[in-house]
A and B are shown apart, each in its own frame.
Chain A
């Protein structure tokens, strides 16, 4: 029996470009702000930090400045990390920004929002919206 995907297509880009703006995209979904606002705010933060705005240090700092709470995912030897799909299944309430390899994706109330389905990507850590 096919399992229903918890992935929902989401693209807040004003020109509907499907581009490498996942940091802006994920933060838009997690904060409710529009693309232009998030782009401008992380651009300003990146300038202060002297790092590109989509770099990990910058979006982490941005989320922390917005009171998101960091959670690491310690993994014991021999056990696997949760995937985006399994995380969504077990977190049916709340808003989370998940870090996967070279990407971030927002999960809200049991569904994850992105251009593509990252169901099988391993989650390394996540931020929780208070």
Chain B
């Protein structure tokens, strides 16, 4: 049986033990910064300690991205209009490095592909960060 190909998805798991765990924030930050899992974990842990929130809290990863030259773009949606989905975003952004905020996690998107373990093509995007070079 042929496996279904998911548009834009590149299977990516930087976890040192290759665990499939709820480390989506660390995974995404590894991909867009080029830093390894351990470094990201420890940096978020330190930042979370300073801010007194959990290391994978949105407050922490947002601050981390702010310090790495990323710029936030909100996605305002008019009443009755649906939010863009991941697949639509990929097609409209074939170049560049982004972090997409979807329900429950964040996704790294680089040059029209997203890097994670699962299919998020139908997930709605609430906002995104763009790497400014």
The tally of residues in A whose CB lies under 8 Å from a CB in B reads: 23
Interface on B for A, CB 8 Å cutoff?
A: 15-17, 19, 21-23, 25-26, 37-38, 41-42, 45, 48-49, 51-57, 59
The 4 residue pairs across chains A and B that have the minimum distance between CB atoms: A15-B52, A50-B17, A43-B45, A19-B53
Whether A50 pairs with B15 at a CB distance below 8 angstroms is yes
- Chain A residues within 8 Å of B25, by CB: 52
Whether A20 pairs with B41 at a CB distance below 8 angstroms is no
Closest to B18 in A: A50
> With A46-B41, A51-B21, A52-B26 known to touch, is A17 a contact of B52 (CB < 8 Å)?
yes
Whether A50 pairs with B52 at a CB distance below 8 angstroms is no
**Other contacts beyond A46-B45, A53-B45: 15, CB < 8 A:** A14-B52, A19-B53, A19-B59, A24-B54, A36-B49, A47-B41, A47-B45, A50-B15, A50-B23, A50-B41, A51-B22, A52-B26, A52-B54, A54-B54, A55-B22
Whether A39 pairs with B48 at a CB distance below 8 angstroms is yes
Interface residues of A in 42-97 (CB under 8 A from B): 43, 46-47, 50-55, 57
- Chain B residues within 8 Å of A14, by CB: 52
Interface on A for B, CB 8 Å cutoff?
A: 13-15, 17, 19-21, 23-24, 35-36, 39-40, 43, 46-47, 50-55, 57
* Distance of A21 Cα from B57 Cα, bound (Å): 9
